[in-house]
Amino acid sequence: MRDTKESRLLLVLLIAIAFALITVDIRGGQESPVDGARKAAAAVFGPVENGVAAAVDPVGNAIGAIRDSGRRHDRIAVLERENAALKTRLGSDIRNQSRVRQLDAMLKTAANGQYGIKGAEVIAIGAAQGFSWTVTLDIGSQDGIVRDMTVLNGDGLVGRVTTVGPHTSTVLLASDPDFTVGTRIERTDELGFATGQGDRPLSVQLLNGKAKVRKGDRLVTFGSQAGRPFVPGVPVGEVVRVDPSGGDLTRNIYVRPYVSFSKLDIVGVVVQAPRTDPRDSVLPPKPKAKPTPTVTVTVTPSAGADGLADADGADAADDGPGTDPAQNTAARRDPAEPGDATASSGPDAGTDDE
């Protein structure tokens, strides 16, 4: 179309008509005079618009998906990294909570026994010295550690220090066959010596061959002079088996240690012995015995027994009160029986006896 005076005039006229129709439509509201024309146009052009959209939308969606795929991939990678960091933090929190519980139990044990301890962490199992049941701690001579110090945790006796370096120390565990400690039984004060047996219960040799021991008795350390290598009162374990005495001078029992030697993490080295023997105050409280349920049995007479009792009562009533059943039976017999007649022949019977 050429740019002429007529075309410009037509364009201005069409624009003026459009503004006029818009003004009339806005002022008319819901009763607009052009509402009918709008509905007619919607009815005509609506299906066409839907068809064009159905044909064009898949292409547009594909183009949008390609454009957004890079951003989505980056977002997924970020979420995966955040999940991994969260899992690591949760695992660390669980381990920290376990360590806090161990430290709290160890501090309570030290407080009950009045032990001065130095906290340490197990950093290795075994040592170059050749011990089969040892652990290495992260503290040494620069922390005030010396040989033959008692090592414990929140459960009880762990072992004793055997080798000390500037920053580390080696502990011989109570489960080692070369480990021996003096013990005392809580209930009877019987003394003995406990020896490690690896992953089996400790073997304890009592000095009294006639000692009265039973399963469940608890043992603590007897203690050494000046508190080295063992301080008194540290929980050792619980009796699980008692061998017969057999008349020997000593007696053997077997004790399950309180400490789990395969789960050591936080331990304490006793650097100061208690002023007085704590005796049994460090042992955990005994579990309360569960009450034994009792069963009450009530015997109810059966119907047959009631019938027999009723029949006997009726017979007794027929015989009369205060009458012997044997006499009633004799009374019911016929007096004319031969036995009765012979028995009643007094004179003749006397003649026969003569």
User: What pLDDT shows up at residue 329?
Assistant: 45
What is the rounded CA–CA span in Å between residue 316 and residue 212?
A: 64
pLDDT in tens, the chain (354 residues): 566 777 778 888 888 877 777 776 666 555 666 666 666 666 665 676 666 666 666 666 666 666 666 666 677 777 777 777 766 665 666 778 888 889 999 999 999 999 999 999 999 987 545 557 899 999 999 999 999 999 999 999 999 999 999 999 999 999 999 999 999 999 899 999 999 999 899 999 999 888 889 999 999 999 998 889 999 999 999 999 998 877 778 889 999 999 999 889 999 999 999 999 999 999 988 777 666 676 677 777 665 555 544 545 545 444 544 445 444 444 444 444 444 434 333 444 444 443
Its pTM stands at 0.57
53 burial (CB, 10 Å; 0-12 / 13-18 / 19+) is: exposed
What is the rounded CA–CA span in Å between residue 268 and residue 153?
A: 6
**Token pair of 98 as six digits:** 């376990």
Q: Which residue has the tokens 């350390």?
A: 221
What is the rounded CA–CA span in Å between residue 97 and residue 287?
A: 25
User: In 10 A of CB 62, how many CB atoms?
Assistant: 10
Whether 99 contacts 257, CB under 8 Å: no
Whether 148 contacts 161, CB under 8 Å: yes
**Token pair of 160 as six digits:** 């004793």
* Residues 79-96: b if buried by 16+ CB within 10 A, e if exposed: eeeeeeeeeeeeeeeeee
Nearest to 257 by CA among 209, 194, 178: 194
